Chain A
């Protein structure tokens, strides 16, 4: 199980001042898989992301990436370098940079200060940025400051940055939050595109959105997995209905 998985969490617990944010959480993502994670507020979705990306250290439990890499000892930067990209719930792009610069910063390249100091952008990089701009539909706004983008555009820019990193696994937190229906649908398409050559974990509240992704769903509740399966399967689960869907 552990050896063949891309991401492997076993018995992970995190406590904040007595509050158990994660309680013996175990989860496995296979290479190439796209997984949706749902759960009510406080179920531990964001904390799970924090633990995977090194923002929060787990009190207990194992986290392995690619079958062999122990993530619990690593910090955010090295986990990002290992190949996990993350998009935040609230879109966080670099607002005083242009759209293009945001992508340039995300682009896979040496990350040290001296490498960036003497960095000269190559033709290949320019092309990659242009491709991404096309993909996230921001080609004609590339010279604008990211601060001037709409909420939905920021979400997309952030997804674009995620792709620019070229990670093996993408963690996407509420990509459709604050989007119009049309945008939501487009985002779902975009994610499905991405999922063809990346593994993706999507945390989402919006059931329609999750349905449109059409992937395996994990339901979190009080820091551990409550149910797992197709959306229809988990929707039928009584406890899930009780804690989440029914209310």
Chain B
């Protein structure tokens, strides 16, 4: 079924590419060949298909495709052949060569041209060889792919002819693989088959694997051994690629966790403030992106691809300022009372959620992906989507930037001084209240820009932040409080572990396992992976 579908896609592509050429062809002779399909039994139809292919004209492709899909009919009155699609009680007719509409017909006026499975195979192969010589290399690759899938020995000759003329290396490769597939399904001699197995084994993907498994069970002797060997080899390589893909998924999840947690690593890890409203800072960042995109949509649609870059500083400022307001208004009265801070900031998170809900409504808001965030590419046997890739890159950039700020700037120096020894820092002239407010603002601002990134992969709703708060705390606690590297390692470890558990346990159970694991881990190492040791910590 999926084979048919892909052939169909291919043919639409072919039809689109070749239609300009149609005008030059000898339409009349083609039409008589097409109309001939209306007559005769299966065996004759096969010959007629051969005749169509012999023209070498891609214009016959839609007709062949329709024939294979059972959409080719002839009109009883004049035996003319049409592509017919059912439309209500009547059929819409299309000319199979010009693809122009030809009105419609009742059910009794037309008759389907019947095909059997053998014919379908013939058609697929015919379509393949028809397009193997096309001028567009993409079409040639696709044609080779079709033969590969059909494994049709009938395509061997066409492929060999095409290969002799082929100059493009990629297309050659595809054709050789198709050739190998076809050879294995033919009654050619062992040496050729062994070479074919070798070709497929080099190919090394899932398609080659399933094909070779078929070969393994249908052949004997040296071919069978070679196929068995090749299957093992491919299975091994696919397993390795699977692992790589899982690691990638894990890194991708880890970078999301990192983004969500890194602001917390500052407010909780460095300052020791339990900010339960941290998730809401992320949410505010996401809503900032939404607002920016709305404004761009209505007033400057051309800027849409840059919307995220515009949103980043705005989200940082918005969330950062709200953070500073929270610190000045509430948290500074509660220093040294972590449990009270926890409760008060929880209250703030409720207020912020409800505020956003009142302004933007309780439902999800649509935040669009710019072009460069959409789509995916293949790396070996892995598929990597652009939005995930950019989020990984972005998370690492934010991490590196934050490290720079904390290690290399005077502000970072003051922050570390204040958190290590507040009284000493104060007596050296550092304005500790300012540093507190700014550090908290920094942590909140980073949560805000995390929100910009997360708006690309998550639903933007007032509850966005709630989903991240527990995970973020887990990451920070697991990695070790007060240690940004710990947060990085913690986030990546949890991400990867989660993704490796998922295939065995399912997403939810996997997550539960991770939570239980962390709960147990904290018992073992209450200060996290990268704990500071010594007397100072316990004071």
Contact = CB atoms under 8 A, between A and B. Distances in A.
Interface of A: 16-17, 19, 21, 46-47
Nearest to B538: A55
A17 B533 contact: yes
B23 to A, nearest CB: 82
Contacts of B533: 16-17
B535 interface: yes
The 6 closest A-B pairs by CB, nearest first: A16-B534, A17-B533, A17-B534, A16-B533, A16-B535, A17-B532
10 contacts: A16-B533, A16-B534, A16-B535, A17-B532, A17-B533, A17-B534, A19-B534, A21-B535, A46-B535, A47-B535
Contacts of B532: 17
Contacts of A17: 532-534
Interface residues of B, number: 4
Contacts of B534: 16-17, 19
Contacts of A21: 535
A13 to B, nearest CB: 14
A46 B532 CA distance: 19
A16 B537 CA distance: 11
B24 to A, nearest CB: 83
A246 to B, nearest CB: 26
B170 to A, nearest CB: 57
B336 to A, nearest CB: 15
Nearest to B537: A16
Contacts of B535: 16, 21, 46-47
Q: Among the interface residues A16, A19, A46, which one has the most CB atoms of the partner chain B within 10 A?
A: A16
A225 B534 CA distance: 21
Nearest to B532: A17
A1 to B, nearest CB: 30
Given A17-B532, A17-B534, 8 more contacts: A16-B533, A16-B534, A16-B535, A17-B533, A19-B534, A21-B535, A46-B535, A47-B535
Interface string B504-539: 000000000000000000000000000011110000
B272 to A, nearest CB: 19
A19 B533 CA distance: 10
A54 to B, nearest CB: 14
Contacts of A16: 533-535
B539 to A, nearest CB: 10
Nearest to B536: A16
A192 to B, nearest CB: 31
A17 B534 CA distance: 7
A16 B534 CA distance: 5
Interface in B307-324: none
Interface in B205-247: none
Nearest to A16: B534
A34 B534 CA distance: 30
A21 B533 CA distance: 12
A19 B535 CA distance: 11
A47 B533 CA distance: 14
B529 to A, nearest CB: 15
A21 B536 CA distance: 12
Nearest to A55: B538
A186 B535 CA distance: 32
A21 B534 CA distance: 9
A243 to B, nearest CB: 21
A46 B539 CA distance: 13
B391 to A, nearest CB: 35
A19 B534 CA distance: 9
Interface in B88-122: none
A47 B535 CA distance: 9
A47 B534 CA distance: 10
A124 to B, nearest CB: 38
Contacts of A19: 534
Interface string B307-350: 00000000000000000000000000000000000000000000
B398 to A, nearest CB: 28
A213 B64 CA distance: 111
Nearest to B535: A16
A47 B536 CA distance: 12
A60 B277 CA distance: 45
Nearest to A46: B535
A21 B535 CA distance: 10
B205 to A, nearest CB: 51
A17 B530 CA distance: 12
A57 to B, nearest CB: 12
A226 B519 CA distance: 46
B434 to A, nearest CB: 30
A39 B533 CA distance: 24
A16 B532 CA distance: 9
